[in-house]
Structure formats: structure tokens, C-alpha cells
Amino acid sequence: MTTAAENEILVRTGPGTPMGELFREYWIPAAMSSELKADGDPMRLMLLSEKLIAFRDTNGKVGIMDHRCPHRCASLFFGRNEEGGIRCVYHGWKFDAEGNCVDMANVPPHQDFKHKVHAKAYPTRERNGLIWVYMGKRKEPPPLPEIDMNLVPAERCDIRFTQRECNYLQGVEGELDTSHVGIMHFGLQAPTDFQTRANNTRYAVSNRTPEYKIEETDYGHIYAAYRPGEPGTTYWRFGQFLFPFWTMPPINDMATNVLARAYIPMDDTHTMIVALVQKGAYGARDGQTNADNIPGASQNYPYLPNTTDWYGRWRLKLNKRNDYEIDREMQKTRSYTGIEGVQMQDQAIQESMGEILERGHEHLAPSDIMINKVRRQLIKAAQSHAKDGTVPVSVDRPDLYKNVRGGQMLAPNDVDWLEAYRRELDSHPWQSVGLKAAAE
Amino acid sequence: MTTAAENEILTRVGPGTPMGEFMRQFWIPALKSDEVKADGDPVRLKLLCEKLVAFRDSSGKVGIMDHRCPHRCASLFFGRNEEGGIRCVYHGWKFDTEGNCLEMANVPPHQDFKHKVHAKAYKTVERNGLIWVFMGDQANVPPLPDLEANLCPAEQMDINFQMRECNWLQAVEGEIDTSHLGFLHYGQATPDTASRDINAYSMINRAPEYVAQDTDYGLIYGAHRPGRKADELYWRMAHFMFPCWTMPPLDTLQANVSARGYVPLDDENTMLVFLFKNDIRPEEDARERAERAGGWDFNYLPNTTDWLGRWRLRENKANDYLLERDLQRNFNYTGIRGIILQDQAITESMGEIVDRTFEHLAPSDMAVARTRRMLLRAVQEYQDTGKLPALAANPKLARGVRGGAFFAPKATDWQEAYKGELAQAPLEQRIAHPQAAE
């Protein structure tokens, strides 16, 4: 049971909120490198309910700062990005990517006080195609988390941003609930429908009522759903939660499933999903397509054109305003939801709960054990942080994020679940996963 | 430094708020005369967070009153404007422009109590194309201020209304901050025609210094920088006048008969009332510069009957003012076409009500800072003692208040220089109009 007060702690991430302050201790993926060009247009960026502006200066350095000029609060969105900084068009004050005021153009030299003025800029890093921002209070930010898929060159990773019109936690919880796969995504499918697909998803439909193992970790939580596989084996679906908003769901066999998905609050009712997926993780034959032609299971999500609005980036063409173009005939005969696309189905069902889910209305089942434990863990961490500034160990241990994976597999019945997990990871090191696909 | 509490006082203008009550002690420009026609459609009018209805009766008199019929609060927007008054369509009660109930059509004569019922109507005056309203104590209505730009005959003046989607004070503050001219409007213009265009000195030196002085109508201030020769200064003089007027230096002081009122519709929407003598035009040589700035043109959306439906601009915050980044890189400092729009964009971009605790004011913001202090003092004094700035009761104090640019010897005191320049200005605009209060 999650109370209304607990729900408030969980869902609010603006400045000064317990969860918002906890999230600000971590590095946050802000944009794709390709979204910003040197001396290009400044970009509106909403993160944790803060209105920010992002730009890339002449030298390629990325600046992310409060969108308001510190002089009289005019928006730097209208600014001129040129010659090593962004210049407010109101009075010509200019700021470098770190927020230093480098020119106070309307003030005579003897009255100049540019060394005392700073734009509210946040430290940024760029790594393998992803721009990160640190919105916390430390003078020296912690190291970037060593998420496998952000440690490989950009050409080995698909980076995809998608906006979801609901609170971040609904997105996270959708990933911590593997039993919906056999219902929402494949509810009308039989095991025999999975022929060419190079994974074991068929067992998720031969038995749709798994049981669970779960354990708290230094980085968050690991859990696995289990049910019978082939004779003598168990079919496992592992999933991960990593602080503060990362998940690793079992999209495919663990051997290839090197991916991570972050659910980043833009504000309390809009979320940016940042998916980092090893090229080839869906299987060399499968790629981003649906090799079995399972109705509704395509992996293709057309975007609306990006706009410069605060909520204008990476919106999907199918969205809540058009009911995701639900097809009732398809729902009757071919696909459980009648909505095309696995991610669209997730999007529809999570947004359908309302912008901020009222958790007091729920009735959690044993299948929701991971959701429940992660909520407890987040609340506890936010409260400890609010009380005395204690941060989870994961803030300062980037290595904890390395070699963590979700995925599915068959394992002999007599092998312990975590032992099976470790063996599978060791047999398929993340560094080499997908190399062949990338080469092709 | 403006605190959050001070910002609340400065920006909130609804009934009962300190600033709202203060503003109600002054006449407020409400509409253009041509917005209401005799027996024409009632107009929804929002002012100081009050929902009003405006109409012109059969004899041409303008009525402005609470939009709710005093009977059962149906909106008089749906009313019938006919035969000397507005009639509520619900039960046929009829009111004249002063709010008197003329008829109580659904009540039998022996039960009639129309002499006891009044619509909440405000006093109005019409002068040279502008309709004014007084929303303070209706038993003590002061005379209209002798605002030069509203004393000139209507045919000499352009009156433009423009809605701005932000708080009134951040719009006002855009006018008492003359140094932005050299950036926001003329940042990519060069002073190559300096000998012919007085504005060019704002491009030769874009970092002026300032002086300011409180007055009995508000504040006068001037930005100064080097003039044509070593012993001369180039001045750009401007004013703030209670409660929401500015006289920015659009031209030379001698030519610049203009005023801009920033009238709060509510806390987050403002009507710019721009009065200017219509012979103010850029000189030939300044044409290229005017083009770089984007000129004075703007486009309206069609007016609607919505509370916030009047005088909206086609380029607005919903479409980022049709910002063109290529234009910004190569030709015009903002990439936004038009001086009005550039001001509109930049003041709206601060948020609907700017959080002034985030600011860092510079010496160039002297008039901004002093105007805030003055407003806070005046509001506090009115609350404590009921005393108002002298202008409220003495309309003559609004005379001779002009913004504008001029040259003066360095040795001359700046206020003397201003008076000297004003003395040379054509005086016909300052001859009291028959309707002006004397």
C-alpha cells in the first residue's frame, strides 16, 4: 500500500522536493550529441521541472544553464550562440558554457562587474553520443556512471529518446513488471508463433503466471521471474533497477541484451525515455524489426517533427490525443491491445493511468513485488537524503553500473538464480556483445 | 535587490491588493473610441483582474461596468445594447451607462425596486480617440491627467493597442531601460549615418551612464554618452509616470510626442496603449538601420470577443514570434522582425511574472531599480495614510513630460538641459485641449 504522502515523495522531482534533490546527486542524460551543433540554435530543455537552455559553443563544448539571463531574466533561448558563448539579445551580456559572464556589453568599463555574475550553469559531459548534465550542489561532481552501453563508441549503440506524457515512475514501474509481456504484448500469441525469433520469449506465453526472486543490490534491485522451460530447465526473465531512474528489462536473451533505459523527469507529468541499446541486441536477424511478424509487435515508432517548445522534443506520432490509433478489429483477432508497436503499448497503458498515478487506488499483486520493493527503496533513499544528505553508495561508485544486465535465459533447475545470472554474464562479456552486428 | 515579498506587492493588481488599490486611484485607458459603436455589440473588457463589459449607448455615451447583471449575475456580454442602455437577456433588466437600473421588466409595477439596484459601473471619459475609466472611489473622481499625447487632436495621433502576455511591470521596465536599444533592436546595425540620425549615437557607444530624479509625477532619467564634440553629451531622456505610463525616447525630444501605458488586464496579461504623434518617421538615411531593427510594423490576429481576445499579435509566444535563426545570424540581432515584437518576445520570455530574486541589476538598470522603490514607497504610503502622489489630484503635473534624445553641453546640469530643450519644442501640443481639465 502506497499512501498519498508516499506517492508525493515518489513522484515530485522539482527543486527542493526530496526525490528531486536525490536525483540531482546523479548525472542525468540530457540530450543526444547530434541535437546540438557548434554555434547552432540554442535548445529549450526541461529537466526536473527546471527550464534550461542547451547549446554547443564554437569549440564544441556543451553548455546547459537556467534559460534566464541572470541580468533581468530574459530567456537565453532567444540568445545568439557565437564566438565561444551565448549572448543575451536584450543587453548583450555573454556567457560561456560554464556560466561565466565574459562580456557586459551595455555597461561602461569602469562600472563593469562581470566577474561577479554567473549564469546558473550546470556541469556537462559528453560521452559516446550522449550529453550528460549534473544539477546537484557538489563543486566537484561525481564520476559518470559506467553504464555498458555508454562506454562503447557511438556507432555500436542505438540511442533513442522518446517523450512520455506521464510521471517518470509510471515509466520505471512498467519496466519492473515482466509478467505483462505475456498479456499486453503477446496476449493473443501461442508459443508456436515464435519461430524465427532468436530468443526464448515463447516460454513467456506458454506460462503467463510466473513467480519471482528479488534481491536488493548496491545499485538498486535485481529480480527475476521464473517458470518452466524445457524439461529440466527453468525459464528466467531478469530485470534491473539502478538508481535513480535506470532500468534494464529483459527484451531479449541475456547473451545479447546489453541495453539500458532511463526514465528522466522533464517535469512531474512529462518524462524523457533515454534508451541505449547495443546494436544487434535484438538478434542479428531481427534487428529493429519483427522477424516473426507478430501483429502489433513492430519496433518502429514514427516521431512527430521536433519543435523548439519546452515539450517539443521526441514526441511520437501515435499519442494520447489520437488514442494511439487503436484498432478494435485488430484487438479482437490479432493483437491483445489493438495498438501497433511494443513501446506504443507501454506508452498507451502508462499514460492511461493519468499524468500522475494515484497509487492509493491500486491493488498490488505478488507479480508487483519488484515495483513495491523499488518504491520502498526510493522513498527510504529520498528520506535519508533529505534528513542528513546521505546519498546511496551508487552516487560515488560508477563501477556499480558496469556489467549489469537484464535478459532471459534457460538454466538447469538446480542452479541458484543469481549463480545462473553470473554464469550467463561471464559467458557473454558485454564488451564483445554485438561486435559482429556492428561490423555488419 | 527585490525580495519575493516585494515582487508580490509590485505585480499583483486584483481588487484588494496593495498595488491594485493604488492603481485604481488613477484614470486608466480602457479602449479605443472606435472599439464601441452606438448600440453596437458589448465588448468583454478585463482590467486589473476585473471582468467588465463596455458598450456605447444610443446617444454615444460609453458605459463600463462589472459584466455581471446585479440581478442574478448573468453576463451582460450577452445583453441587448439598445435604446439608451444595456438590457440583460435573462429577465430584461436594463441599465444605463452610469449603472442606473432603468427597467425591471419581469417584476410587476407594484413590486418594482429598480431605484434601489445599481450595476457596478465605473466613470468613463472619452478624449481624442481614447476611452478612459476610473475604477476607484466613484464619489471622488479626479480629473484626467494632461497627457500631452492624448491632448493632441485624434487625427494627429496614432493609437495602437497591443496585448502582451506578461505582468505589467516587466513591460514597463522594458521602457525605462534605454540601453537595450543598442542590442535588442540595433545590435547588428552600424552608426554609419550618424550625421543624419540622432539614434546613431546609441550605436557609437552602447554602454551609457545614467542619472535619475524622482518627480511629483514619477521619475525622470537620462542615459548619457559622448556627443558630436568633446564638450558635448548625447542624452536620451525618459520618464515613468504613475501609475503605468512611460515616455521612451523614440525620437528627438522636440519631435517625440508619445506615451506608452502598460495597463494590467490581469496579473499575467497587459495591454500596451501606445499613443504617438503620427509624423514620427525614420529619416531616409536611417532606413537601412530601421530595416535591420525590423521596423515598427506588426500584424494583428483578428480580435475575438474573449476576455483576452483584443489586439493580440499574429507573431506571439505560441509561435516563438516567428524567430528566424538565419536572419539572427546574418542581419538582425534577434532574428525577430519588428521593434514591438522584439520587446514583446524578450519581456514575455522572462515568464508570466518574472521572479525578480533571480536578477542581477546593473548600473544600467538605475531607472528600473528606482521606479520599483518609488512604487513600493507610494503603495505603502497610500496604505498607511491614504496619501497619493501629487499627480493623482493635479492633472497639470502630467504636462511637459516628454522622452527624447538631444545634445547638450557637458557643463549644463542635465535637468536644466532637459527644460531648455523642452522650451524649444513646438508648443501647440501642450495647449490645453477644451476637454482637458483645467
Domain limits for position B107: 27-134
Choose the final residue of a domain: B106, B134, B162: B134
For position A130, which CATH number holds?
Answer: 2.102.10.10
For position B109, which CATH number holds?
Answer: 2.102.10.10
Higher pLDDT, B342 or A251: B342
Put simply, the answer to whether A105 touches B208 (Cβ < 8 Å) is no
Same domain for B324 and B198?
yes
Exposed / middle / buried, residue B36 (Cβ in 10 Å: 0-12, 13-18, 19+): buried
Search chain A and give the residue with CA nearest B336: A78
Same domain for B342 and B401?
yes
Choose the final residue of a domain: A134, A163, A181: A134
The model's pLDDT over B98-141, given as tens digits with 9 standing for 90+, comes to: 999 999 999 999 999 999 999 999 999 999 999 999 999 999 99
Sort out which chain A residues have CB atoms less than 8 A from B208's CB and list them. Answer: 106, 108
Domain limits for position A351: 148-439
Choose the final residue of a domain: A134, A158, A182: A134
pLDDT of residue B438 exceeding 80, the answer is no
Put simply, the answer to whether B184 touches A105 (Cβ < 8 Å) is no
Confidence band for B435, pLDDT divided at 50, 70 and 90: very low
In a domain, B2, yes or no: no
Same domain for B172 and B301?
yes
The model's pLDDT over A84-119, given as tens digits with 9 standing for 90+, comes to: 999 999 999 999 999 999 999 999 999 999 999 999
Q: How far is B178 from chain A (nearest CA, A)?
A: 10
Put simply, the answer to whether B320 touches A71 (Cβ < 8 Å) is no
Stated as kind and residue range, the H or E segment containing B259 is strand B258-266
Put simply, the answer to whether A106 touches B360 (Cβ < 8 Å) is no
Confidence band for A140, pLDDT divided at 50, 70 and 90: very high
Q: How far is B112 from chain A (nearest CA, A)?
A: 53
| Short-list B386, B393, B391, B390, CA closest to B21 | B386
Average confidence (pLDDT) over B236-246: 97
Residue B5 and residue B355 in contact, taking contact as beta carbons nearer than 8 Å: no
For position B378, which CATH number holds?
Answer: 3.90.380.10
Q: How far is A387 from chain B (nearest CA, A)?
A: 27
User: Cell 521471474 identifies what position?
Assistant: A225
Sort out which chain A residues have CB atoms less than 8 A from B177's CB and list them. Answer: 72, 91
Sort out which chain B residues have CB atoms less than 8 A from A113's CB and list them. Answer: 362
Same domain for A165 and A103?
no
DSSP at B280: -
Q: Considering its fold, how many domains does chain A have in total?
A: 2
Same domain for A167 and A121?
no
* pLDDT number for residue A291: 61
pLDDT of residue A287 exceeding 50, the answer is no
Q: How far is B174 from chain A (nearest CA, A)?
A: 10
Average confidence (pLDDT) over A245-255: 93
* pLDDT number for residue B293: 65
Confidence band for A280, pLDDT divided at 50, 70 and 90: low
Rounded Cα distance, A141 and A132, in Å: 12
Q: Considering its fold, how many domains does chain B have in total?
A: 2
The model's pLDDT over B36-95, given as tens digits with 9 standing for 90+, comes to: 999 999 999 999 999 999 999 999 999 999 999 999 999 999 999 999 999 999 999 999
Sort out which chain A residues have CB atoms less than 8 A from B336's CB and list them. Answer: 78
In a domain, A363, yes or no: yes
Residue B345 and residue B317 in contact, taking contact as beta carbons nearer than 8 Å: yes
Rounded Cα distance, B73 and B256, in Å: 46
Same domain for B89 and B177?
no
In a domain, B5, yes or no: no
Same domain for A335 and A432?
yes
| Short-list A72, A16, A48, CA closest to A64 | A48
Same domain for A153 and A103?
no
pLDDT of residue B287 exceeding 90, the answer is no
pLDDT of residue B311 exceeding 90, the answer is yes
| Residue of B180, B184, B349 with shortest CB distance to A77 | B349
Average confidence (pLDDT) over A176-201: 85
Residue B149 and residue B277 in contact, taking contact as beta carbons nearer than 8 Å: yes
Same domain for A181 and A41?
no
Rounded Cα distance, B211 and B431, in Å: 29
Confidence band for A284, pLDDT divided at 50, 70 and 90: very low
* pLDDT number for residue A42: 98
Same domain for B97 and B153?
no
The model's pLDDT over A43-91, given as tens digits with 9 standing for 90+, comes to: 999 999 999 999 999 999 999 999 999 999 999 999 999 999 999 999 9
**In the A/B pair of chains, how many CB contacts fall below 8 A?**
97
* pLDDT number for residue A51: 98
Same domain for A199 and A288?
yes
In a domain, B78, yes or no: yes
Percent of chain A with pLDDT over 70: 95
Same domain for B257 and B309?
yes
Residue B20 and residue B49 in contact, taking contact as beta carbons nearer than 8 Å: yes
| Residue of A90, A109, A308 with shortest CB distance to B183 | A90
Confidence band for B279, pLDDT divided at 50, 70 and 90: low
Put simply, the answer to whether B356 touches A73 (Cβ < 8 Å) is yes
pLDDT of residue A405 exceeding 60, the answer is yes
Confidence band for A383, pLDDT divided at 50, 70 and 90: very high
Choose the final residue of a domain: B134, B163, B196: B134
In a domain, A418, yes or no: yes
| Residue of A68, A107, A111 with shortest CB distance to B350 | A68
Choose the final residue of a domain: A69, A103, A134: A134
Put simply, the answer to whether B207 touches A105 (Cβ < 8 Å) is yes
Label residues A271-288 b or e (16+ Cβ within 10 Å = b): bbbbbbbbbbbbbeebbe
Rounded Cα distance, B298 and B315, in Å: 8
Sort out which chain B residues have CB atoms less than 8 A from A74's CB and list them. Answer: 346-347, 349-350
For position A326, which CATH number holds?
Answer: 3.90.380.10
pLDDT of residue A436 exceeding 80, the answer is no
Rounded Cα distance, B419 and B402, in Å: 10
* pLDDT number for residue A198: 56
Rounded Cα distance, B200 and A360, in Å: 66
* pLDDT number for residue A286: 42
CB atoms within 10 A of CB B123: 16
pLDDT of residue A324 exceeding 60, the answer is yes
Same domain for B272 and B174?
yes
The pTM of the full predicted model, rounded to 2 decimals, is 0.91
* pLDDT number for residue B399: 87
Percent of chain B with pLDDT over 90: 80
Same domain for B129 and B163?
no
Same domain for A63 and A197?
no
* pLDDT number for residue A293: 80
Search chain B and give the residue with CA nearest A75: B349
Same domain for A169 and A258?
yes
A interface with B, Cβ–Cβ < 8 A, is: 41, 66, 68, 70-75, 77-78, 80, 82, 89-92, 104-109, 111, 113, 116-117, 308
pLDDT of residue A285 exceeding 50, the answer is no
- Mean pLDDT, chain B, rounded, equals 91
ipTM: 0.89
Put simply, the answer to whether B184 touches A90 (Cβ < 8 Å) is yes
